[in-house]
Amino acid sequence: DTGVSQDPRHKITKRGQNVTFRCDPISEHNRLYWYRQTLGQGPEFLTYFQNEAQLEKSRLLSDRFSAERPKGSFSTLEIQRTEQGDSAMYLCASSPSLGQDNEKLFFGSGTQLSVL
């Protein structure tokens, strides 16, 4: 499967714990995005990388959230001191800069986070 891969698929944690999610984009896609989706809502933008550079960050991304893409390939999203309001589906997407698909975002299956 050459799609966007996210790990884990599900994560249950207790309030106050730290969690980290991983995203492996489609090979050679240099753009990578993180979104968050709650039930009954559309996805909300969190952050965007071009290669290893984090070029856009939403105001939603509080100090407790940090994202990295150290070598311009996979990315991690860490949430520190989780709160119940962080419970959501965290979606990763990737896109190429060039080619006929360069306007499309390809989404992964997401990581469902439940904070108890």
What's the min distance (Å) between Cβ of 18 and other proteins?
Answer: 25
Stretch that binds other proteins, among 13-21, 48-56, 63-71, 75-83 (CB under 8 A): 48-56
Distance of alpha carbon 28 from alpha carbon 23, whole angstroms: 14
- Positions in 5-44 near other proteins (CB under 8 A): 31, 33, 35, 40-44
Interface with other proteins, residue 108, by CB under 8 A: yes
- Positions in 69-98 near other proteins (CB under 8 A): 91, 93
Write the DSSP string, 24-75.
EPPTT--EEEEEEE-TTS--EEEEEEETTEEEEE-TTS-TTEEEE-TTSS-E
Interface with other proteins, residue 106, by CB under 8 A: yes
Reduce the DSSP state of residue 116 to 3 states and report it.
coil
User: Quick check: 40 and 27 in contact, CB under 8 A?
Assistant: no
Q: Give me the residues that bind other proteins (CB under 8 A), please.
A: 31, 33, 35, 40-45, 48, 55-56, 58, 91, 93, 103-110
